[in-house]
Structure 1
Amino acid sequence: MDDATARMRLESMLQELDKSILVLGADPAAPKERSAADAGAGLTDADRTRAMIDAAARHRMAVLAALRRLDDGGYGRCVDCGRPVPEGRLEARPEAARCVQCQSRAERRR
């Protein structure tokens, strides 16, 4: 993928993530009255929302890092081994920082 296309896709992803984070983090327009039974369900909803916000924030950080790599000339190279990241991987995940092999190793370490 050429740099201009990558930048356009990454910037579009960043805008969508910012919108999602804003919507998820926004308070409801009007407070709702809740029964005691609903209070427990609300915690689950709040936990789920927090998890979605956290995932979107991590994804946003990956997109910003990819944009920095574009600016620095390192986009498309694995941050671990320096080999080229396969074109198909960048098509599917423009924010990908690692080749498939290094990504697999990183995930196993977690």
Structure 2
Amino acid sequence: MDTATARTRLEATLAELDRSITILKGEHPERELSAADAGSNLSDSDRVEAALESLGRHRNAVDAALARISAGTYGRCLGCGKPVPEGRLEVRPEAARCVTCQSKHDRAMR
């Protein structure tokens, strides 16, 4: 994927993520709970927090991909330095590693 197309897709993804984060934060502001509310809202609160964490990680990956475009390193695996396959970048333009290196990275993070 050429970098202009990647940048356009990544910037659109970043805008969507920002909207989603804003909506989730706006719909579930921090508030005091009565004892009766605590049980039912805890699971809601936990789900929202997990979603926000996931969206935040995705946003960081998109930001990092945009930085790699600016640095001229986009499309090169951070693990082995080889080109990330075109098909992988089509599906996940924020991908920083080839599938093999991503698998190794994921296992190391566990």
Number of residue pairs matched by the alignment: 107
Show the counterpart of 2:65: 66
State whether residues 28 and 48 of structure 2, in contact with CA within 8 Å, keep that contact through their aligned partners in structure 1. no
The amino acid across from 2:23 in the alignment is V
Amino acid in structure 1 at the alignment position of 2:25? G
Provide structure 1 residue ranges, at least 5 long, that are not aligned to the other structure. Answer: none
Inter-partner Cα distance in structure 2 for 1:101 and 1:5: 25
> Residue 108 of structure 1: CA displacement?
1.2
Q: What CA distance in whole angstroms lies between the structure 2 residues aligned with 1:81 and 1:43?
A: 43
Gap change, CA 1:27 and 1:77, over 3 Å in 2? same
Within 5 Å, which residues of 2 pair with 1:81-96?
A: 81-96=80-95
Q: Could you list the per-position Cα deviations for residues 78-103 of structure 1 after superposition, in whole angstroms to 9, with x for gaps in the alignment?
A: 01110000001000000000000000
Q: Give yes or no for contact 2:10–2:94 (8 Å, CA) kept in 1.
A: yes
AA of the residue aligned to 1:83: K
* Equivalent pair of 2:79/2:101 in contact (CA under 8 Å): yes
How far apart in 1 are the matches of 2:44 and 2:71? 40
Report the CA distance between 1:34 and its aligned residue. Answer: 7.0
Whole-angstrom CA distance in 2 between matches of 1:47 and 1:75: 35
TM-score normalized by the length of structure 1: 0.90
**Partner of residue 17, structure 2:** 17
- Give per-residue Cα distances to partners, 1:17-61, cap 9 Å, x unaligned: 0000000111459x8x9781x431100000100000011011000
2:4 aligns with 4
The normalised TM-score by structure 2 is 0.90
Task: Supply the AA of the counterpart residue of 1:101.
Answer: T
Confirm or deny: 8 A CA contact 2:28 2:45 kept in the other structure: no
State the one-letter code of the partner of 1:99: C
2-structure distance, mates of 1:28, 1:101: 39
Question: Equivalent pairs: percent with the same residue?
Answer: 58
